[in-house]
Structure 1
Amino acid sequence: MTAWIAGVDGCPGGWIAAFQPLDGPQDCVVRVLPDLAAICEAPEAPAIVAIDIPIGLPERVGAGGRLAEQVVRPLLGPRRASVFPTSARAVVEAPDYTAAIALARRGSLQPFAPSPPAHAIFPRIRAVDAWLRALPDRRGRVYEVHPELAFASLNGGAALAHPKRDPAGADARRALLRRAGLPEPVIAGPPPRGARSDDLLDALACLAVARGIARGRGVSYPDPPERDAHGLPAAIWTLLPDETPP
């Protein structure tokens, strides 16, 4: 039976998921799906899902966010600002932005207020968190990744100079995905409806990490992962150097 993996990134239409069979590196199916349940229950039934979303919420957190974000951020040079500090669980679970800021300002949970971009993904964080807590047997299939760290790993450990929506940045990311052996028609093709071009490239970078994890060549930051109060791992995964192209 063919084993599938998936790389997943958020997009305006939900989640863009790139599915690939481990024994068919030139095959890739990309679609937009509504949630993590739909991805894991897709016909491909991926054994490993590498998803760009924080997993593992601390009860309290310091200025730099979780340890995962603190150790990854220095690796990304000019792209370090793309790694938002994850808020404490109570702040993420606040009913609205005003309540989240009020909780943060108390100072007992975290020393920073969530930024608007960070708050915008709170519903996604809550949805993934609730699904994983409700289904403990799925936790071993789902790994947190960050596309900028994935691209840096594919680039021999060097962060990319240009942001992803800059034409030069997009070209550099496509070149790295080609060198990683992902299929050209998908890299160069249009994203599915509900996703942008940069969402597609990020999902493919996540797919490259999923492939490395499946081959036993993934690495987590921190290593070993921390665990939150519900037992969920709190770590960002990427590729070991020998899983990157020459």
Structure 2
Amino acid sequence: MIVAGADGCPAGWVLVLWQGPEGPPPQARLVKKLAEVLKWDERPAFLAVDMPIGLPEKAERGGRHCEREARARLGQRQSSVFSTPARAALAAEEFQEACRLNRAHSEPPRGVSKQCFNIFPKIRELAALVTPETQSWLRECHPELAFWAMNGEIPLHLPKKVKSAPAEPGLALRRGLLEKAGFPLTQLRAPAFKRKDVGKDDILDACACTWSAWRMSQGAEIRLPAEPRFNAEGLRMEISA
């Protein structure tokens, strides 16, 4: 069984494929569009993606219930969980228009963060692939929640980035957690990605999502909330790790 984790990166998406602890070394790949994965002969049985799945009709303070639950567990790392906008805001191509649409579809009215707006294209891309049926294997994940799970459900004390630049102590902490959790990071087979295309933290985040995808394949993942809520399209609004 092949599973994979995907993280958005400047060049598209970086994916890590794995067949579990008894399988061959994991492999990293770069794709421009996530839809390319659906054409692979070895399509993953589970694909865990670090991107929101299932947008609400009305945005709430603090985002969806699953995002609020994730933040409650992450301590100092809670800022890594963005508040998902209302589905209507996703149609906006300009930041001010996104804020206007989100204010019209939120209570109390609120705009959209610039960081969240910057990933709108990838949220739209993923939304075009997900249906209630494909959500059986295409799941939303969050790397920091995965690292929290690896760390005995204790928030990490070091960030992976400081002032938008990779922070080596935090990266080293996450590398150690992956290895300790059974993911063979030192055996990862990866092309020589250009730094401008794929960051060090992007690869680690994809590995964390892959670890979560393996847990999904074994029915051992943590799902937040325990009883998922659904959006108007029938999609579960949950985050797994």
Indicate whether the TM-score tops 0.5: yes
SS in 1 for 2:152: coil
Q: What is the match of residue 59 of structure 1?
A: 57
Q: Which amino acid aligns with 1:67?
A: H
Q: TM-score when scaled to structure 1?
A: 0.88
Shift of 1:41: 2.6
Separation in 2, partners of 1:120, 1:214: 31
Correspondence for 1:91 among 89, 114, 117: 89
Q: Does the C-alpha gap of structure 1 residues 36 and 224 become closer, same or farther in structure 2, counting only changes over 3 Å?
A: farther
Separation in 1, partners of 2:58, 2:103: 13
Q: Does the C-alpha gap of structure 1 residues 63 and 108 become closer, same or farther in structure 2, counting only changes over 3 Å?
A: closer
Task: Answer yes or no: is 1:181 the counterpart of 2:196.
Answer: no
Q: What is the match of residue 142 of structure 1?
A: 138
Q: Does the C-alpha gap of structure 1 residues 233 and 191 become closer, same or farther in structure 2, counting only changes over 3 Å?
A: farther
Shift of 1:185: 3.1
Q: Does the C-alpha gap of structure 1 residues 209 and 191 become closer, same or farther in structure 2, counting only changes over 3 Å?
A: farther
Separation in 2, partners of 1:233, 1:43: 27
Q: TM-score when scaled to structure 2?
A: 0.90
Shift of 1:47: 0.5
Shift of 1:66: 0.4
Q: What is the match of residue 163 of structure 2?
A: none
Q: Give structure 2 stretches of 5+ with no counterpart.
A: 161-165
Separation in 2, partners of 1:106, 1:57: 15
Q: Is the 8 A contact 1:151 1:205 kept in 2?
A: yes
Q: What is the match of residue 241 of structure 1?
A: none
Q: Is the 8 A contact 2:26 2:189 kept in 1?
A: no
**Mapping of 1:203-218 within 5 angstroms?**
203-218=206-221
SS in 1 for 2:55: coil
Q: Does the C-alpha gap of structure 1 residues 104 and 201 become closer, same or farther in structure 2, counting only changes over 3 Å?
A: same
Q: Is the 8 A contact 1:173 1:201 kept in 2?
A: yes
Q: Is the 8 A contact 1:178 1:187 kept in 2?
A: no
Task: Answer yes or no: is 1:49 the counterpart of 2:47.
Answer: yes
Shift of 1:161: 1.0
Question: How many matched pairs?
Answer: 234
Q: Does the C-alpha gap of structure 1 residues 114 and 185 become closer, same or farther in structure 2, counting only changes over 3 Å?
A: same
- RMSD (Å) for aligned C-alpha atoms: 1.9
Shift of 1:180: 1.7
Correspondence for 1:161 among 133, 157, 171: 157
What CA deviation, in whole Å up to 9, does each residue of 1:59-117 have, x standing for no partner?
00211100010111010000001111000001122232121112233464663211111
Q: Is the 8 A contact 1:88 1:109 kept in 2?
A: no
Q: Is the 8 A contact 1:26 1:182 kept in 2?
A: no
Task: Answer yes or no: is 1:112 the counterpart of 2:113.
Answer: no
Q: Does the C-alpha gap of structure 1 residues 33 and 189 become closer, same or farther in structure 2, counting only changes over 3 Å?
A: closer
SS in 1 for 2:129: helix
Q: Give structure 1 stretches of 5+ with no counterpart.
A: 239-246
Task: Answer yes or no: is 1:219 the counterpart of 2:222.
Answer: yes
